[in-house]
């Protein structure tokens, strides 16, 4: 019998090349996905600021009525900070920013009396009028600058 001695160099070389290819592809994948992951991440301080802002926003609806052309909600802010309305969702569509604003309850609806979509912390039993100059559904959602949402249902007359 003829004995052949195999050195196995080709098997070792192919295994090393396979390992190098896997490591290189993992390095490329990791470097590309790292940017995407870090872009969507919030820092701990951002999370704390957002949660602090949400915990100090405490709104309640006193009355919400609508006509064929507009709607008025009376809201009390009993939180610790002024609340800014970022958006109002009417059904599934956003109400344009120029179609709503806030006023003190006794104020006449003029540009000089606008509170610039802010619901301030007021004295006890003080109310703010949210006026929406648009036809609306029976249910709207008010979204604040801190991302908190409040659902307002129209009160029956």
Condensed to tens digits (0 to 9), the pLDDT of residues 108-122 reads 667 777 888 888 887
Give the confidence band of 23 by pLDDT, cuts at 50, 70, 90: very high
72, 129 in Cβ contact below 8 A? yes
Q: What average pLDDT does the structure give for the chain?
A: 82
Q: Which CATH class is domain 56-153?
A: mainly beta
75: exposed, middle or buried (Cβ count in 10 Å: 0-12, 13-18, 19+)? buried
Rounded-to-integer distance, Cα 137 and Cα 9, Å: 77
Give the confidence band of 20 by pLDDT, cuts at 50, 70, 90: very high
Where along the chain do its domains lie? 8-41, 56-153
Rounded-to-integer distance, Cα 48 and Cα 3, Å: 74
Rounded-to-integer distance, Cα 28 and Cα 42, Å: 24
Output the pTM of the full model: 0.60
Give the confidence band of 18 by pLDDT, cuts at 50, 70, 90: very high
Does residue 125 have a pLDDT over 60? no
């Amino acid at each position: 019998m003829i004995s052949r001695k195999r050195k196995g160099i080709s098997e070792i070389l192919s295994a090393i090349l396979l390992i190098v290819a896997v490591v290189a592809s993992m390095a490329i994948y990791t470097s590309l996905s790292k940017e995407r992951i870090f872009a969507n991440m919030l820092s701990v301080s951002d999370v704390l600021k957002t949660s602090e802002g949400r915990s100090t926003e405490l709104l309640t609806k006193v009355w919400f009525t609508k006509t064929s052309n507009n709607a008025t909600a009376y809201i009390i802010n009993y939180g610790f900070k002024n609340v800014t309305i970022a958006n109002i969702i009417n059904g599934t569509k956003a109400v344009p920013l120029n179609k709503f604003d806030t006023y003190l309850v006794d104020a006449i609806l003029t540009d000089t009396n606008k509170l610039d979509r802010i619901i301030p912390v007021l004295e006890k039993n003080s109310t703010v009028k949210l006026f929406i100059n648009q036809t609306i559904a029976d249910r709207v959602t008010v979204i604040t600058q801190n991302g908190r949402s409040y659902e307002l249902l129209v009160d029956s007359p």
